[in-house]
Amino acid sequence: MKRQILVTGGAGFIGSHVAERFALRGDDVTIYDNLSRAALLHKKDAPGTTFNWDHLGRHANVRRVRGDVRDREATVAACAGADVIVHAAAQTAVTTSVTDPAPDFDTNLNGTFNVLEGARLSGRRPAVIYCSTNKVYGENVNAVGLREERERYRFEDRFAHGIPETFSIDGCEHTPYGCSKLGGDLYMQDYARLFGLRVGVFRMSCIYGTRQFGLEDQGWVAWFSIAALTGRPITIFGDGKQVRDVLFVEDLVDAYDAFLESGRPHGLYNMGGGPRHTLSLHELLRLLEEETGTKPPVSYADWRPSDQKVYISDIRRAHDELGWAPRVDPREGVKRLVAWVRDHKEIFAS
């Protein structure tokens, strides 16, 4: 049965992959985006600002709406006809939130509230997917004991499976970005219970893949890949041994699908590659050198506010409740990303 799908932030990295997945399946998809990436990142013209918007325009069953989740009336109207809402619109850069906190509050918190109100007031009772973040745990993650190795840090054995959904969110620094996303996360959970909305909250770790226009302060796997192929210098904030679990974007969309197909009334999931799919910054640079034959110039700077030395998602709940597991290992995923950057190198030339 054909569904009506609304993807806020549908011209962004994750949103565009979600929109295309549903469009190829035959659903009617509306992408709702204000194309403000460059402005939010304080760049004159961030690469690829309209790339995904133009790419999705080739699908006859994708409708593109220039809209802003901060506009409550327009957002509620956009939600009215949806059977599924995937809320991916956000200000996504941690460093930007520290220098200018207001857009985080306006977009990430107020915008999320507007989407929830649209879902609540809709007569169709849409299912809602919320793109949350591992930053909701803030600096509490840095209290977990670590082992230092030659190229990476490792969690102590007690957290061998990674950070679970029950990990504390309290009593620590989060950055304005983490606070705004946590506020939206809690609103999503509460609307599910208070108003009976069907909501899936996904606290995402490092998502990477094709059509990702990474910059120094957001999208590090893509940024390192772009730098390796264009000869741009890389600044590592910290010592380069920091580790993230990495998840290829197609595996993420599989998880959203699994929740929608599961029939579960609501769910909260830490979402990443888990302990088997991890990379340190040094390990990614080595992998990129093998894939590209080049090594970009690297310099080092101080740690950034609330940087987590290690973050690995405990993904057992998603496996147990949704029957989901990541399929694309980091070597294959980085290979696909490098091939895409190479094929679109002209976008990153300036």
Nearest to 14 by CA among 212, 165, 277: 212
As a whole number of angstroms, the longest Cα–Cα distance in the chain is: 57
CA triple 258-264-270, angle to 5 deg? 60
Nearest to 214 by CA among 48, 328, 51: 48
CA dist 254 → 175, 230, 335 (Å): 30, 31, 20
Between helices 330-343 and 281-292, what is the axis angle to 10°? 60
For residue 64, the cross-strand partners are: 31
Distance separating alpha carbons of residues 279 and 151, to the nearest angstrom: 10
Distance separating alpha carbons of residues 62 and 57, to the nearest angstrom: 7
Check if 177 is active-site.
Answer: yes
**Residue pair 153/242 in contact by the 8 Å Cβ criterion:** yes
Distance separating alpha carbons of residues 206 and 228, to the nearest angstrom: 19
Distance separating alpha carbons of residues 279 and 273, to the nearest angstrom: 10
Catalytic residue among 32, 177, 208, 256: 177
**Tokens at residue 270, please?**
């830490």
Give the other-Cβ count within 10 Å of 152's Cβ. 20
Length of the chain measured in residues? 350
Distance separating alpha carbons of residues 174 and 232, to the nearest angstrom: 30
Catalytic positions: 177
